Amino acid sequence: MSNILEIDVVRAAYGDCLIVRYGDKAAPNHILVDGGPSSCWDNSLEAHLDALFKKYKTDDDELVVELGICSHIDRDHIKGLLRLTDRLKRERETKRPSVRFEQFWHNNLRNTLKLDATDAHDAALASIGGDNVPTTVSDGISKAVLESYAEGNGLRANLSDLDIDVPFVSREDEPHELWDEMVVTVLAPSLEVIEKLRSAWQKKAPDTASLAATLDTKLPNLSSIVTLLEYEKKTILLTGDAVCTEVVAGLKRHGYKADGTEVFDVLKLPHHGSNRNVTQEFFRQVPARTYIISADGLYNNPDPDTLDMLHVGRAASGAAAEPFEIVLADDLVRGSKTVRDKVETKLAKEIANCKVRRPIQKRKARTISLL
C-alpha cells in the first residue's frame, strides 16, 4: 500500500479552508478544517469537493470525511460549512448526501457554555437568523457579532439534522486517534479559558439587544479550536484564529518543548497573518518547514510585521539552516494598497532558504505533499 499525506490549501479569500488527505493513495481519508466565507464556497470549495467526490467516492456513492472541524464561528471560517451542510440537507431529501462526516468538532455556543435548550440567552440568539437582526441594534460590530453567533447556531442545527454528533473538545482531551493511525491533538481552547467565558456569559442580559451590546468580539477567537495532526512522523499545526500564547501552552501541555528545537512540517499562521496574534518569540519557539497564510489582504492581513517576525524568529530557532516555504492560499487583492505593497516587497525580497508559493491560477486549491 502506498500512503499519502496531502493538504489542499483551498482559495478562501479572507478566510480559512483546508482539506487534509491521508492514508491509502487509492482510497484516502479526509479531514476538512473550516469552510471559508460564502465566496469560498461559491468560487472554490463546492467545486473542489465535487472533484474529490468523483475521484474518491465509495461504493455507497459518497465522499467520506472522517473529521470536520469548524475552528470557531467567525463567518470567514463558518459560512462555507453552513452552505455545505445546507446542500447536504437538500440532497438527503432525494438521495444519499454526497459528503458524509464520521465526526465533527464545533465548539458552538451551546456546548461551550453548557446552555440548556430553554436558556434565555440561547433563545435570544436562536431567534436571529441570517441578517434578521433587530432594528434596535444599530452598532455595526454588535450586528456582526450577533450574526456570527446565529450562524454558529445554524451550523449546530444543520449538523443535528444530519444526525452528526458534535462533542465539545478542549486542550484537556487525550489525543484522538483516527483511521490509519492519524493522531489529532487538541491544543486549545483550555477549560480554564472556557470557564471564564461561561462565567462572563451568565452575567449577560438575556434579551437580544443587550446581548448585542455586551458580547465580546474576542470570545470566538478565545474559544478557537487549535489542533496538531501527526501522521507517519509528519506534523501539521492548525491554529484557527487563536493567539500564539495559547498555541504554545497547548503544545507544552501535551509534551512538546516549544523551545525552537522541534520543527513542525506545516504551520498555518494564526488569524490570517495578523500581527496581533503572533510574536517574534512564537516563530522562534515553533519553527516550521511550510507556513500557510490564508488571506487576500482584507483587514490588512497578512501584516508586513508578521513576515518580519517570522523571518527573524525562525532564524533564531533550531531550524535556521533548514529551507522553508511560505504558501499563500489566495491572491492579495484587497485592503490597503500601501500595506499590500509592503507585504509584496517583503515576499519578493530574497531571503536565504525561503521559497514563496503563490496560488495556482485557475485552480481551486494548491496541494502540499508531505510524504
| Residue 216: other Cβ atoms inside 10 A | 13
CB distance 225 to 105 below 8 Å: yes
What's the mean pLDDT in 117-132?
A: 52
Nearest-angstrom CA–CA distance, 142 and 122: 17
Of the candidates 161, 138, 71, 152, the residue with the CA atom closest to the CA atom of residue 109 = 152
Q: What does each C-alpha distance from 163 to 97, 236, 345 come to in angstroms?
A: 12, 29, 49
> Pairing between strand 99-101 and 63-65?
parallel
Give strand pairing partners of 123. Answer: none
pTM of structure: 0.91
* pLDDT tens per residue, range 259-275: 999 999 999 999 999 99
CA 288 to chain centre: 18
Q: Residues of 86-118 as b/e, b for ≥16 C-beta within 10 angstroms?
A: ebbeeeeeeeebbbbbeebbbbbbbebbebeee
* Domain 3-107+169-189+224-369: which CATH number of 3.30.750, 3.60.15, 3.30.43, 1.10.3470: 3.60.15
Task: Judge whether 116 and 206 are in contact, CB under 8 Å.
Answer: no
Length of the chain: 371
65 DSSP 8-state letter:
E
Exposure on the CB side of residue 191, measured as CA atoms within 13 A: 6
The per-residue pLDDT of the chain, averaged, comes to: 88
For 313-343, how does the pLDDT look when each residue is reduced to its tens digit (9 = 90+)?
Answer: 999 999 999 999 999 999 999 999 999 999 9
pLDDT tens sequence across 301-312: 999 999 999 999
Residues of the chain above pLDDT 90, percent: 71
Sign of the torsion angle spanned by Cα atoms 359, 361, 367, 368: negative
C-alpha cell at 206: 438575556
**Domain extents in the chain:** 3-107+169-189+224-369
- Residue 256's pLDDT band, with cuts at 50, 70 and 90, is very high
The 8-class DSSP code of residue 322 comes to S
Spatial separation of the C-alpha atoms in residues 343 and 307, rounded to whole Å: 8
How far apart are alpha carbons 329 and 365 in whole angstroms?
8
Answer whether 147's CB lies under 8 Å from 130's CB.
Answer: yes
Whether pLDDT at 237 is above 70: yes
The whole-angstrom distance between residue 141's C-alpha and the CA centroid of its chain comes to 22
Cα–Cα distance, 271 to 8 (Å, whole number): 18
For residue 119, what pLDDT is reported?
Answer: 55
Residue 117 has pLDDT above 70, yes or no: no
**Cα–chain center distance at 105:** 11
Average pLDDT over residues 178-191: 94
Higher-pLDDT residue of 247, 349: 247
> Averaged over 274-293, what is the pLDDT?
97
Alpha-carbon distance 174 to 226, whole Å?
A: 14
Contact in structure between 200 and 337 (CB atoms under 8 Å) = no
Instruction: Quote the CA–CA distance of 193 and 223 in Å, as a whole number.
Output: 8
Distance, CA of 182 to CA of 59 (rounded, Å) = 23
Confidence tier at 129 by pLDDT (50, 70, 90)? very low
